[in-house]
A and B are shown apart, each in its own frame.
Chain A
Amino acid sequence: MRRLAAVLPAPAHLLNVCADRYRFAVGFAASLLAGKVSLLPSTHTPEVIKQLRLFAADVFCLTDDPRCPIDLPRVIYPQGAPAPDTEAQSWPPPALDADQVAAYVFTSGSTGSPLPYRKTWGRLVNCVRFEAQCLGLNGQAHTLVGTVPPQHMYGFESTVLMPLQGGHALGSGRPFYPVDICSQLEAVPAPRMLISTPVHLRALLATDTRLPPMALIVSATAPLSLDLAHEVERRFGTRLLEIYGSTETGQIASRRTTATLEWQLFRGVRLVSKAEQTWAEGGHVEQPTLMCDVLEITAEERFLLHGRLSDLVNIAGKRSSLAYLNHQLNAIPGVKDGVFVLREEEAAAAHGVSRVAALVVAPGMSSAALIRELRKRIDAVFLPRPLVLLERLPRNETGKLPRESVHSLLTTALKRSRSASR
């Protein structure tokens, strides 16, 4: 870490895209030591990189992949750098100022540019220390395996910061297939923790994968149903805890789902209801923040989660807003009008992953060409399915798009494409 800190270049902002969790952690720690700020956008499309440059002109990229395609000056995390012993050498952990800006995370704003949220070191530390308490780790060192990337707020907190603070070991990989999740868990010593999401937990259950004994499974990014929670605990013989939070606030609450559907707020965090909106503030939350979900406050530190506010989309744990997606679509040269539509009705059928569709007016352009353009701007999970080309959108006199007209157009288009060339 010291060695890496010493070789980082002068600029203050870095984009850490190391895929290897250990390297990401070392890179992050080195950047802290060097007084630099890590930028953590949710995706790395060319458009987002452009926006990052506007945010911090000096940003450089720290990567462990020599073939990294990101268009930024780069530092390649030394290949073949010796792995440390598992026994930490005893040098005193560096003291860092609580107000030091450790990172900026970004969300999709309605103006089409990612919105920055500052994360200071002290608050990050408090947050993950409390997380460890909520998870019942009792000061005992665990080894964790995560299926989530370290760049995402959840992975950043739970698979990088928490181990750094709590003295846990972290698995450097990011297993994807159920078989691989199992092998990585088997390869690490007990007590084990799996940090994952509903998408992967469902996959583990659906493939009847056997997992080695675990102390704990943590799930976040979307709520798990009570049925699934019970099944996870039963099949894997372990506790399941869920975490609730947001990129803007970090994690703010947790629950043992099989015990209660209510979420328990982290110490010091308060929810304030104003009109139809809920704001989170206090504790480790940097500033009062509007929560993107519909929360029902049930007691002083407890709430129920009822679903998201209408503009937001969450696809397999990745979050965006329809306003942001619409902005990106309409910014494509040649697009006269376009709108993204959430396909909720089919979510239940398609294993709980609802997709977005798009209705587009772009004379002379093919849907393939439009998708290619979108791919440069937005994360792949938000690419429209399907992208329907139209002569015009069914806007009414006030320019609004009535929900029913949009959905009936979409249904017609779907019927047409599915019955084609039978």
Chain B
Amino acid sequence: MSDNASPLRQPARPADNTELQREVAGLVVAALNLDVAAADIDPKAPLYGEGLGLDSIDILEIALVVSKQYGVQLRADSEQNEQIFRSLEHLVDYISAHRTK
């Protein structure tokens, strides 16, 4: 697929990732008892530190939820580890690529 997207239209994300995104956002809000509506989470904003402002305790909780729900085991030595929490989109892409449930 070419990197030169037409100025008219960016290639759309596959439809099921949007659905998955909604699902994951909901799970995160519920698991962390966040005071923000799932629909309000900017999919491109950082999750850790700035943006949604999650800390390491939250990350561990997300790892649990993601493991239970999708069978995805987060580990620190994966190359994508720094990327996974760069945004909700990144997290969802990772889940989508590695889910076993």
Contacts and interface: CB of A to CB of B under 8 A. Distances in A.
Asked whether A and B interact, the reply is: yes
Contact of A203 (B31, B39, B60): B60
A349 B33 contact: yes
Interface in B54-72: 55-57, 59-61, 63-64, 67-68
Interface stretch (A66-74, A114-122, A413-421): A413-421
The 5 closest A-B pairs by CB, nearest first: A350-B33, A380-B55, A386-B35, A179-B75, A316-B57
A383 B53 contact: yes
Contacts of A207: 63-64, 67-68, 73
Contact of B76 (A177, A316, A349, A417): A177
Interface string A355-392: 10000000000000001000000001101011000000
A98 B36 CA distance: 54
27 contacts: A176-B59, A176-B76, A177-B74, A178-B63, A178-B67, A179-B75, A199-B57, A203-B60, A203-B63, A203-B64, A207-B68, A207-B73, A316-B57, A350-B32, A350-B33, A355-B33, A380-B49, A381-B56, A381-B57, A383-B55, A385-B34, A386-B35, A414-B35, A418-B37, A419-B37, A421-B37, A421-B39
Interface in A4-44: none
B33 A180 contact: no
Contact of A417 (B35, B53, B68, B77): B35
Interface string A337-355: 0000000001001110101
A417 B36 CA distance: 6
Nearest to B49: A380
Contacts of A371: 53
Interface in B13-60: 31-37, 39-40, 49, 53, 55-57, 59-60
Nearest to B63: A177
Interface residues of B, number: 26
A176 B74 CA distance: 10
Contact of A418 (B35, B55, B57, B76): B35
B24 to A, nearest CB: 17
A349 B31 CA distance: 9
A170 to B, nearest CB: 18
A3 interface: no
A219 to B, nearest CB: 16
Interface in A384-422: 385-386, 414, 417-422
Contacts of A417: 35-37
A335 interface: no
A223 interface: no
A206 interface: yes
A266 to B, nearest CB: 29
Contacts of B67: 178, 207
Interface string A272-302: 0000000000000000000000000000000
A366 B74 CA distance: 34
A103 to B, nearest CB: 24
Contact of B61 (A351, A418, A419, A422): A351
Contacts of B31: 351
A112 interface: no
A350 B67 CA distance: 17
Contacts of A316: 57
Nearest to B40: A421
A176 B77 CA distance: 11
A30 B37 CA distance: 51
A101 interface: no
Contacts of A203: 60, 63-64
A48 B40 CA distance: 34
Contact of A420 (B34, B37, B55): B37
A315 interface: yes
Contacts of A175: 76
Contacts of A381: 55-57
A374 to B, nearest CB: 10
B37 A177 contact: no
B57 A315 contact: yes
A383 B40 CA distance: 20
Given A203-B63, A207-B64, A207-B67, A176 B56 contact: yes
